[in-house]
Amino acid sequence: MANVSYKELGLVNSKELFKKAIKGGYAIPAYNFNNMEQLQAIIIGCVETKSPVILQVSSGARKYANQTLLRFMAMGAVQMMKDMGGSIPIVLHLDHGDTVELCKSCIDTGFSSVMIDGSHHPYEKNIEETKKVVQYAHDHDVTVEGELGVLAGIEDDVSSEVSHYTKPDEVEDFVKRTGVDSLAISIGTSHGAYKFKVKPGEEPPPLRFDILEEVERRIPGFPIVLHGASSVIPAYVDMINKYGGKIDNAVGVSVQQLRKAAASAVCKINIDSDGRLALTAIIRKVFAESPKEFDPRKYLGPARDELVKMIKEKNEHVLGSAGKA
């Protein structure tokens, strides 16, 4: 299939959205999706709250959904938004791109933003790989997110047993030499539902806001991104376990800390695990209460509706993005 510009799909890049978010003291939601119901829920929730949105696709999701189908899903999302009478800006973003080639492929197939995650490389190699992506992306007016520091946890193809906090004394050099448009940093968040090793009833460790503040001081006004920022909503964990699941000791980032982060230079917050938990909780509930049910619409539909509720709650009361479209 021929290359296509994101503008032909009705998408935008993240540059102006981040400027507004930093000035307004809120964060843009970046919701991951793998299928139609997730995408529908994201669009409905963000249109109804008048929130800008970043649709995130991991490399694993791209393999799962097929890159050509994803292009048409993105077009469909824009049209769905219009059909609802909305006019929210929509970004299509590659989450955790691990190679230059993958990032280029996504740019060529209509993504308006890409992340090149070279954090697993030595520092100089990270700069080298990130710079290559930036040069190609900027030639196509596509924005680029880089990463310094490593998050613990597992999410699709991304995994690490331990976290390595971002070193503030590297960020200025990294941003200047690579030309990235935003920077994902590690301040204590973690991928997946098992973010922190705590005993039942214990509070998870606080985020390292001292690192965030030092990063802000060194690159003032520069867009910062938080990965691994799901709250691992207890109600969904409890529902999953009630209806036959087994998710033990799952702990997420507190809403209070996310609100604090969103009011700072953090202008993009990634949410994936919470969406997965919401869908799984409702599907398990339907199967348990209606064991004869086999129509996917009868369990995916209610799961989608619950995800809409969760997204609206995040936009309105956690990220502060509601009404900012």
> Using an 8 Å Cβ cutoff, are 28 and 53 in contact?
yes
**Residue 219: HSE in the Cβ half-sphere, 13 Å Cα cutoff:** 25
* Paired sense of beta strands 158-160 and 152-155, if any: antiparallel
Helix/strand/coil for 181: coil
Cα gap 271→30, rounded to integer Å: 6
Which of 224, 321, 309 shows the shortest CA–CA distance to 275? Answer: 309
**Two tokens at 300?**
């995916």
Asked whether the beta carbons of 265 and 222 are under 8 A apart, the reply is yes
CA dihedral 31, 270, 263, 198 (to 10 degrees): 130
Q: How far apart are CA 290 and CA 298, in angstroms?
A: 10
> 190-191 and 143-148: which strand pairing?
unpaired
Active site residue 95: yes
**119 Cβ contact list (under 8 Å, min separation 6):** 126, 147, 148, 149, 150, 184, 186
- Give the largest CA-CA distance in the chain: 60
Catalytic site residue from 83, 95, 210, 238: 95
> Tokens 């990032």, residue?
103
Query: Residue 86 and residue 70: Cα distance in Å, rounded?
Result: 21
Give the Cα separation of 304 and 278 in Å (integer): 9
Beta-bridge mates of residue 270: 30
Query: Which residues are CB-neighbours of 312 under 8 A, at least 6 positions away?
Result: 45, 48, 49, 322
Helix (H) or strand (E) holding 267: strand 266-271
Would you please indicate which residues are annotated as catalytic (active-site) residues? 95
